[in-house]
Amino acid sequence: MNRRVSLPPWVGRLLACLGGSVVLAMMVGKQQGSKDDYGLAFREAVLNPRIFYFLLVGVLVFLGITYQDVVRRYAGRPGVRPLLAGVLILLASYFLMKWYDPLGDGKLATFGAAVTSTPAVAPVARIFFGWLWWVGLLVTAAATAAAIVWRLRWLAWASAAVSVLVGAIAVAAHSLAVSFAGGIDHSFGAQTALIGNLVLAGAGVVAAMSRVETARTREFVERVMAFRPGLPLVAMGVVLGVLALVAATWFDPGGKNLTLVDTQHLFAGSALSGVASAYLAWLGYAVFAVVVVLAATAVWTAQKTLGYVAAGGAVVAILVTLATLHDISATATKAGYPGSAGEWQNLGTGGWVLCIALFSAGAGGLIAARRAPVIAPEPALARGSGALGRLHQVGTSTTLLSLTLFGVGLALFYPPTATAFWQQALVTDIGVYVLLAIGLNVVIGWAGLLDLGYIAFYALGSYTTAYFTGSLPVQPPIHLSPLWAIPVAIAVCLIAGVVLGGPTLRLRGDYLAIVTLGFGEIIRIIAVNNPGDFTNGPRGVARAVPHPVIDLGFIRFEWGGSQLQYWYLLLVLLALVFLLFWRLEGSRLGRAWAAVREDEVAAQATGVNTTRVKLLAFAIGASTSGLAGVFFASQVGYFNPQNFILNNSILVVAFVVFGGMGSLTGAIAGAAVLTWLPDFLRDQVPSEDRIMWIGAVLIVMMIFRPAGLIPARRRKAELTGLAGHDPSVDQDLRAVPAGEGV
Amino acid sequence: MTQATTTADPDDLIFDVQDVTLRFGGVTSLQNVSLQMRRGEILAVIGPNGAGKTSLFNSLTGVYTPQEGQILLRARPGDQPVSVLGQKTHVVNHLGVARTFQNIRLFPALTALENVKVGVETRQKSGPVSAMLGLPWQRREERESTSQAYALLDRVGLAGRANELAGSLPYGEQRRLEIARALGTDPGVILLDEPAAGTNPAEKQELAALIKQVNHDGVGVLLIEHDMKLVMSVADRIVVLNFGSRIAEGTPEQIQRDPAVVAAYLGTSEEEAVAELDTHDQPELHVIDTSGGVTGAGSAGGPATGEEQA
């Protein structure tokens, strides 16, 4: 009597895939219609023949899902993952990256059209930009795929060789074309294409060399890392260092792009200090060689002392390099060399890349020293801090530690080479929000309290700074420099956190979220309403908040000259906060937070004062936000209540969730990626569409990797199912979560 | 604190519960319940489902505050008697009362060792600042809590499982881990809520040995259990609850012979129970299906609703 018409399941799947293609087609390109034709963009997306490309993608996805048994059998083969990665990198380099800055949008298509229509350019460049870029991609990708499927070793080797060749041609063609065209070019398209081709070649080599049926990527990586811990870092250092010493620009007054040798010639006979001129002539090569040899030996022989010596040598080498860089720019400016703009100006990428290389090599030595085999006592009862060690050991495998250290090297020495736009973005968007995310991670990730009014503490910190530096209409009893305002702002936010948390923390989950949301809005509206002429209302602060100053009498340093100075101040703050919170996570308070988050009733019954613990999380998170507020206020000078809208609170929550709740490195990575993305997309998609793409990234991320970019060990265990490891455990008999009765 | 106090006062009571009545709205979960728990004994609370056993536990640990009556606590020898009523759960725990739960409530994403450390560390002093700065006394406390937690895990036979996630342990080990966590708070009395539920006979034997061992080490044990074999083998005294009231109290032998108890478990009148007792020389309560019979009545449904309000 109840007859249901049921279609075969593949019909729904096909429709879903095709529907997805149409959505994707509409996302790529402008979304807006024109004034008198609202449906313009829609028709362009859907009725244009290009829709067939998207439908084809949909059909491919459909086939992949429907025949996933077959696909999966081949997808597990060695070499498939690097193949996909290589193709993706190449596609990104061809369609996303810039190839030549001065020309229009600078993409490959534009630049390539210009190159091929200019007969005077070297033939290599014309061939590459004419057809080789896409033919090379198709041929190598198809050949590698065929080699993987049919296990043709000779084909795998051949396609690997071709890939390397195409990559080399890409770089050569690009540099030929650019040197023909002139103009200042900082694009990375060609380099990315080289990397993509090398990854493709790697796929070929893996396919040719491997004898197993299924790839074990993680095991492979771990084995490589465990072979000689620190070796990848040292290798990276060697490659970057050689590039820096041989090819990179060290000094470019007026776009001259002088390499290290050229720079030496330029400064021959100048008033350059002894160390610097020696550095340009031979010392630079010497210190690099010494550091690399030391680090490599330490890594190879796994000697503790040697590793530390290598790290120390790297530090000295970096200091000498920095001194030389300073000397170059200062001397050139003093001598009035045309184009010199002052100390630390006009420096090319060379010096900074060499610093990254030295740092990387030194970090390799450090890892070798730390991971050097020691005759360890039985970890169980012998070592006191076993649990603490374990928590952080799991979090910091050698792979992750290497990546982190390399990231630190980049954070230290990459920003000086970045454009002014990216330096600005690094400080105002990325850096501040990383700090905020670290703080909110304490509240959401560790203690499990959903705080939607987090930005209010940021506002409190900013306004406290503005008040104590005399930038508000009401003058303070004592004027403080922004650096002295830090403890005051932290104290204010601590108190505000306790005042807000005291009555509200007995609420749970959703209710707490609503209360904090209300609190955030109250703070913002108070700032707008300007009670007692305190906040100066929606116009923002009355006078600019001064820049921080360090004045010790004999030495005086004032921030504000460039964004870089703020970046390094921020790095110091970040490192400090990271270190303190890292210790906190492994302490008894960190465990108490985890206990409260997991099961509040059980935590109480175990004697944890849950109110106090939650209050501490709230206050510590709030004070971090306050610290970020001080930094923000003194960095931007002028700010207004618009900077503290609800949207920003939600963004910080998104950063924490995206990065991996409860994971410090995750919070940093999440905030960095999600704040970097809008600025990156600025050049890639119409600016109105940026947020849509970020939304898409979030959705995909939450579906396929719900634990976040870098999941916390404790959180990961929650999500992946606990009894899953042991089949003897009955799922129903697991410990119940909080709120399901005592 | 001294041994002299204990011996000087033979009637030293850990719990002195006087006429406690606990209501949820119109439903009475506990009705004028009185019981005394002596120092050093294993006291079992039994009764059919919905009899108010867990409500009693929750009242003793400060989760519920009974409307009437008095609960005096003197967890450790030499303590002044303290009223439990109106105290917060964690405060009651600090007064020396530890407990486990009927449905295991570990911190599943923490390792076994960390679970116990959470318990041990509630007795420590170091705060967030010393943890952030890694001050010497914080490090010392950290080492102490780790070695204590290892010792406790060893005591319950889980030393080899220290670094496994609590949630991934087999059921019986989770039960024992919960006991270890409770012992970590250095209690004077431990309340075990159906520790044998869902465990197999071998595990039950280990559990009985563990309970006796814990008691031997000077911790009072208050036990809720349905498994009569276990109760009869470990308990010094038994209190029987039914429909929120205490219907019997005595040694295991007395309880087994008590017509009111047998009636409650059989769901029959006392006369029939007496007849039942006469026909069997040695009535074995543990063979009676305790999870079925007596829960159907409306009054028995009341306490259950109350429990869900937690």
Task: Quick: pLDDT tens for A321-358.
Answer: 998 888 888 888 887 777 777 778 778 788 889 999 99
Whether pLDDT at B152 is above 80: yes
Q: Which of B107, B115, B189, B199 to mutate to test the interface with A (most CBs of A within 10 A)?
A: B107
Kindly state the helix (H) or strand (E) to which residue A198 belongs, with its residue range.
helix A189-209
Q: What pLDDT band is residue B11 in, cutting at 50, 70 and 90?
A: low
Predicted confidence at residue A380, as pLDDT, reads: 40
Q: What is the pLDDT of residues A16-51, one digit of tens each?
A: 999 999 888 888 877 776 777 777 778 877 888 888
pLDDT on residue A715: 60
Please check whether residue B96 touches A, CB under 8 A: no
The arithmetic mean of pLDDT across residues A612-619, rounded, is 92
Type of residue found at B160: G
One-letter identity of residue A219:
E
Give domain status of residue B152, yes or no.
Answer: yes
Beta-strand runs (E) in A306-368: none
β B97-99/B189-193 pair status: parallel
Residues 6+ apart with CB under 8 A from A447: A593, A596, A597, A613, A614, A617, A618
Backbone φ, ψ for residue B237 (5° rounding): -140, 160
Max avg pLDDT among A552-556, A612-616, B289-293: A612-616
Judged by CB atoms closer than 8 Å, whether chains meet at A591 and B184 is answered as no
For residue A222, pLDDT over 90 is answered with no
Mutate to test the interface with A, among B22, B84, B90, B155 (most CBs of A within 10 A): B90
Per-residue HEC secondary structure of A3-39 comes to CCCCCCHHHHHHHHHHHHHHHHHHHCCCCCCCCCCCC
B118 and A603 within 8 Å at the Cβ level: the answer is yes
Q: Is B107–A602 a contact, with Cβ atoms under 8 angstroms apart?
A: yes
Give which of A456, A428, A491, A426 is closest to A637, Cα–Cα. Answer: A428
Which member of B159, B166, B171 has the closest CB to residue A730? B171
Contact A387 B113 (CB under 8 A): yes
In the sheet that holds B220-224, the strands lie side by side as B97-99, B189-193, B220-224, B42-46, B237-242, B245-250
User: Which domain does B132 fall in, by range?
Assistant: 104-185
Distance CA(A401)–CA(A172), nearest Å, equals: 35
The alpha-carbon radius of gyration of chain B (Å, integer) is 20
Strand partners, A551: A556
- Above 50 in pLDDT, residue A393? no
Instruction: Judge: B184–A387 Cβ closer than 8 Å, yes or no.
Output: no
Across residues A267-288, what is the average pLDDT?
A: 84
Q: Give the pLDDT score at B276.
A: 67
Distance CA A526, CA A675 (A): 28
Residue B165 belongs to domain with CATH number: 3.40.50.300
Q: pLDDT higher for A214 or B140?
A: B140
Question: Measured between beta carbons, which residues in chain A are less than 8 angstroms from residue B147?
Answer: 381, 384
- Angle, helices A304-334 vs A284-301, to 10°: value is 160
Question: Is A607 in contact with B168 (Cβ distance < 8 A)?
Answer: no
Asked, for residue B280, whether it belongs to a domain, the answer is no
Residues 375-414 of A with CB under 8 A from B: 380-381, 384-388, 390-391
Which residue of chain B is at minimal alpha-carbon distance from A719?
B109
Beta strands at B13-24 and B68-73: parallel, antiparallel or unpaired: antiparallel
Q: What is the pLDDT of residue A523?
A: 92
Q: Is residue B137 part of a domain?
A: yes
Residue B121 is encoded by which pair of tokens?
Answer: 């560390």
Residues ≥6 apart with Cβ < 8 Å to B217: none
Stretch among A119-133, A271-285, A544-558, B117-131 having the lowest mean pLDDT: A544-558
Query: Using the beta-carbon criterion (under 8 Å), do A587 and B104 form an inter-chain contact?
Result: no
Return d(Cα A695, Cα B179) in angstroms, integer: 47
Q: What is the dihedral of CA B288, B292, B297, B303, to 10 degrees?
A: 100
pLDDT digits over B168-198, tens only? 888 888 989 999 999 999 898 999 998 888 8
- What is the Cα A99 distance to its own chain's centre? 23
Whats the size of chain B, residue-wise? 310
pLDDT in tens, A119-159: 888 888 888 888 888 899 999 999 999 998 888 889 999 99
Q: How far is residue A46's CA from residue B142's CA, in Å, rounded to a whole number?
A: 64
Give chain B's domain count: 1
**B18 within domain boundaries:** no
Q: Do B109 and A718 touch (CB under 8 A)?
A: yes
- Please tell me the predicted confidence (pLDDT) of residue A304: 84
Q: Does residue B124 sit at the A interface (CB-CB below 8 Å)?
A: yes
Q: Please indicate, yes or no, if residue B299 is contained in any of the structural domains.
A: no
| CB spacing of B109 vs A722 below 8 angstroms | yes
Rg of the Cα trace of chain A?
Answer: 29
**Average pLDDT for A480-498:** 90
* Interface subset of A 558-597, CB within 8 angstroms of B: 580-581, 583-584, 587-592, 594-595
Name chain A contacts of B99, Cβ cutoff 8 Å. Answer: 605
Mean pLDDT along residues A675-688: 81
Q: Assess if residue B243 is contained within a domain.
A: no
Q: Given CA atoms A80, A82, A84, A87 in this order, what sign does their dihedral have?
A: negative
Alpha-carbon span A187 to A179, nearest angstrom: 13
Separation between Cα atoms, residue A272 and residue A407, nearest integer Å: 33
- Is B134 contained in some domain? yes
Mean pLDDT of chain A: 83
* B45 found inside a domain: no
Which residues from chain A sit within 8 angstroms of residue B153, using beta carbons? none
